[in-house]
Amino acid sequence: MNFCPNCGKRLGALFLSGKERMACHDIQCGFVNWTNPIPVAAAVVECSGSVLLVQNVGWPSTWYGLVTGFVESGEMPEEAVVREVKEEIGLDAEVQSFIGMYEFHRKNELIIAYHVTVPTLEYNLDKNEIVDAKWIEMDRVEPWNAGTGLALRDWLKNRGLSRNLVEIGTANSGV
C-alpha cells in the first residue's frame, strides 16, 4: 500500500507504537496502515480416528492441509469453522474443542484452530476451492513445521501422539 485509502495522498514511514509504520502524512487524515493480522479459522476434521487433509486450488500436488477459511464479519471463529467445513467438504461438523491460536507471519494471519468431528468419511468437495482430499489415520499424520501444522501437532500431542514437525509437502503431512 503506497497511497492512503482515505485521502489518496502518498504514505510515508512513521515511527508509531514501537515500530515503523506506513502512515498518511496528512495530520487531518491520520490514517495508519497497522497491517493487523487477518483471522483465519482452521479445522482438524476427524472421523473414526482419521484426519481429513485437503489440497486447496493452486497448491502443489504434494501439499495437503487442514480445512481453513477467513472469519467473516459478525461471525465467531467456531461458526466460521463449521461453515467452512460445510462449504469445502460438504459435511456437518460438530466443534469438539478449541486447540489454540497460531501466528502465521508469512501470510500475516492469526490462525484460530478447532477440533471438529464429522459423521461420515464420505466428503463432497467444492471443486472451486478444493482439488483433492485424503483421510489419514491419526497415528500416521505428520504436521508441517509452520502455520496450522503447529495446531495439528498440539492436537496430536493432546492424544498422546508426539510428532516431529516435517517440511511442507512431505508424505502424510498437513498444515
Kindly calculate the radius of gyration of the chain based on its CA atoms and give it in whole angstroms. Answer: 19
- Pick the stretch among 5-13, 53-61, 117-125, 163-171 that binds Zn ion (CB under 5 A): 5-13
- Pick the stretch among 20-28, 56-64, 70-78, 109-117 that binds Zn ion (CB under 5 A): 20-28
- Quick one: which of 138, 151, 72 has its CA closest to 82? 72
**Does 7 help bind Zn ion (rule: CB under 5 A)?**
yes
Nearest residue (CB) to Zn ion, 26 versus 78: 26
H-helix segments, the chain = 77-89, 149-158
**DSSP 8-state class, residue 113:** E
Which CB contacts under 8 angstroms, 24+ apart, belong to 3-10? 4/29, 4/31, 5/31, 6/31, 7/31
Residues 132-171 that bind Zn ion (CB under 5 A): none
**Does 11 help bind Zn ion (rule: CB under 5 A)?**
no
Residues 30-59 that bind Zn ion (CB under 5 A): 31
Cell of 29: 487524515
**Does 24 help bind Zn ion (rule: CB under 5 A)?**
yes
CB 14, min distance to Zn ion, A: 12
Interface residue list for Zn ion (CB under 5 A): 4, 6-7, 24, 26, 29, 31
